């Protein structure tokens, strides 16, 4: 049997399956969020004593920061696939991922500020991690601005894909320069991963939140792609024959 | 190939020198921005010495970006760019020539005028030299990265503001190390070489990748 790998690359085939999957993704994300937040807020030990309950913002903060970074990588991957195979749907994926990625990046900055105020006594500090998240947000905004500035969808897709790829080449350079503004002291600034030092209870609740946000991204991106498909293919017959477009 | 490079470079320089105001505007923009900062933040000598490298670099970023719009737009409007795309010469070389012309017209004058920052902000001679060196290595990077942005926003409404949105985040490493080397040379006076090597490495990276990305963006823009 020959498998048609590109069957769902056609917007007409992808549209119904995206519509069927999206509610499931969103429902699952909601259930996981409830479990994760309940576990995180009420079932984790008060290891940091009662005065420091604000640490619980970690359950939203870490998950959104990870999704913000991961979605940029996915955006670039779809942009790259779009450039290679010239498939319309890949560009639509990239375009649909951007707002969600920007939202999560913003959320991580916002929750980080809320955490920073009680613990560090300041809403904002020019710590390397915060600065690089801020720059990631700028990259998302640049991508979306270019995308919406070009009226012709084919040109806007390709141009913003080139920008996303330039951004990906630059991200390590930017990240490194923000981390080591003084190259001589770079070693001292390096933060090692603290994942292993976390109480397993807290870590598991955090991972459930990551899964929830991840699945939520799937659901929302499917819905957004459906909108983009309708917008771009509105002159085609299959769209005009759709029940919801009558 | 080398001949193409020289020809385009000569053409762009000749065209620009016939409109001298455009070149001078960039330089005066730079001078005005660096003169406004002391008026805004106060004329405390120590404060000025401290902020001088950052101010000089941000003024240089903005000045170099202001001139970017002109990089391809006039050629795009009168159809010259289309002829360049159709020509058998590699687009990489053509782009590189245009970027070199842009740097000679905006980057190099900024390097030469930067001792003025030293005068206005009370910097000593060593730091002025260091700043000129950093600008000399850093401004070509600004032109190279800027070309990508200029090509991507070619012929768009509100292109000028859009360019800044796309490019300023990408300029951050140049800003950090370019300003860092001047600050650091005053503090320790030893590891400036590291900064300059990093800037150099960044210059080489952008020299290799940027004309290629710019060429791709130009083809997309004129499809």
User: Quick check: is A73 in a domain?
Assistant: yes
Q: For residue A144, list chain B residues with Cβ-Cβ distance below 8 A.
A: none
Q: For residue B156, list chain A residues with Cβ-Cβ distance below 8 A.
A: 149-150
- Report the 10 Å Cβ neighbour count for A42: 8
Rounded mean pLDDT, A34-53: 73
State the virtual CA torsion across A86, A66, A148, A235 in degrees, nearest 10.
Answer: 50
Q: How far apart are the CA of A161 and the nearest CA of chain B, in angstroms?
A: 10
Q: At what angle do helices A11-42 and A88-120 cross, to 10 degrees?
A: 20
Rounded mean pLDDT, B135-147: 93
- What ipTM was reported for this prediction? 0.86
Range of the domain at A228: 20-45+56-182+197-245
Contact criterion met (CB < 8 Å) for A184 and B194: yes
- Which of A40-49, B44-53, B72-81, B100-109 is least confident? A40-49
Number of domains in chain A: 1
User: Quick check: is A2 in a domain?
Assistant: no
Provide residues of A within 8 Å CB-CB of chain B.
135, 138-139, 141-142, 145-146, 149-150, 154-155, 158-159, 162-163, 165-167, 169-170, 173-174, 176-178, 181-184
What is the end-to-end Cα distance of chain A in Å, rounded? 38
User: Quick check: is A130 in a domain?
Assistant: yes
Distance CA A87, CA A9 (A): 7
Query: Phi/psi class of residue A45: alpha, beta or left (left: φ > 0; alpha: ψ in -120 to 50)?
Result: beta
Distance CA B61, CA B171 (A): 8
Name the pTM for this structure. Answer: 0.88
Q: How far apart are the CA of A127 and the nearest CA of chain B, in angstroms?
A: 14
Q: Tokens 């942005």 map to which residue?
A: B149
Q: In which band, very low, low, confident or very high, does the pLDDT at A86 lie, cut at 50, 70 and 90?
A: confident
User: Quick check: is A240 in a domain?
Assistant: yes
pLDDT digits 0-9 by tens, B184-217: 776 655 677 888 888 899 999 999 999 999 999 9
The helix/strand/coil state of A123 is coil
Residue A127 has pLDDT above 70, yes or no: yes
Residue B82 has pLDDT above 80, yes or no: yes
* Tokens representing residue A158 in the block: 């390709």
Q: For residue B194, list chain A residues with Cβ-Cβ distance below 8 A.
A: 183-184
């Amino acid at each position: 049997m020959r498998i048609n790998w590109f069957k769902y690359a056609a917007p007409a085939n992808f549209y119904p399956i995206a519509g069927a999957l999206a509610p499931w993704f969103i429902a699952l994300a909601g259930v996981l969020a409830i479990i994760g937040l309940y576990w995180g807020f009420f079932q984790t030990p008060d290891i940091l004593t009662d005065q420091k309950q604000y640490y619980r913002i970690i359950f939203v903060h870490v998950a959104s920061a990870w999704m913000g970074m991961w979605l940029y990588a996915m955006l670039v991957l779809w942009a790259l696939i779009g450039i290679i195979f010239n498939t319309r749907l890949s560009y639509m994926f990239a375009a649909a991922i951007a707002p969600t990625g920007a939202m999560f990046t913003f959320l991580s900055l916002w929750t980080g500020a809320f955490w920073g105020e009680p613990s560090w006594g300041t809403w904002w500090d020019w710590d390397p991690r915060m600065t690089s998240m801020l720059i990631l947000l700028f990259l998302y905004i640049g991508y979306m601005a270019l995308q919406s500035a070009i009226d012709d969808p084919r040109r806007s897709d390709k141009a913003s894909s080139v920008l996303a790829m330039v951004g990906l080449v630059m991200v390590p350079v930017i990240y490194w320069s923000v981390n080591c503004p003084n190259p001589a002291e770079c070693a001292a600034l390096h933060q090692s991963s603290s994942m292993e030092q976390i109480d397993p209870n807290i870590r598991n609740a955090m991972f459930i939140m990551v899964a929830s946000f991840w699945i939520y991204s799937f659901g929302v991106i499917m819905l957004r792609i459906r909108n983009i498909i309708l917008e771009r293919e509105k002159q085609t017959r299959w769209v005009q024959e759709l029940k919801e477009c009558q | 190939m080398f001949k193409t490079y020289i020809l385009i470079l000569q053409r762009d320089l000749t065209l620009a020198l016939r409109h001298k105001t455009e070149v001078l505007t960039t330089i005066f923009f730079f001078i005005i921005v660096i003169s406004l900062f002391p008026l805004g933040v106060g004329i405390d000598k120590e404060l000025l010495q401290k902020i001088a490298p950052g101010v000089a670099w941000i003024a240089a970023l903005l000045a170099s970006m202001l001139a970017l719009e002109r990089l391809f737009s006039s050629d795009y409007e009168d159809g010259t760019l289309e002829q360049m795309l159709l020509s058998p010469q590699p687009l990489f070389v053509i782009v590189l020539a245009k970027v070199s012309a842009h740097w000679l017209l905006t980057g190099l004058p900024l390097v030469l005028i930067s001792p003025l920052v030293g005068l206005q902000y009370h910097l000593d001679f060593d730091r002025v030299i260091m700043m000129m060196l950093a600008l000399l290595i850093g401004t070509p990077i600004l032109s190279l990265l800027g070309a990508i942005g200029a090509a991507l926003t070619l012929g768009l409404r509100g292109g000028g503001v859009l360019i800044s949105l796309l490019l300023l985040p990408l300029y951050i490493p140049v800003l950090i190390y370019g300003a860092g080397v001047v600050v650091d040379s005053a503090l320790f006076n030893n590891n400036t070489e590291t900064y300059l090597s990093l800037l150099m490495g960044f210059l080489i990276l952008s020299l290799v990748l940027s004309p290629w990305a710019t060429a791709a963006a130009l083809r997309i823009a004129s499809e």
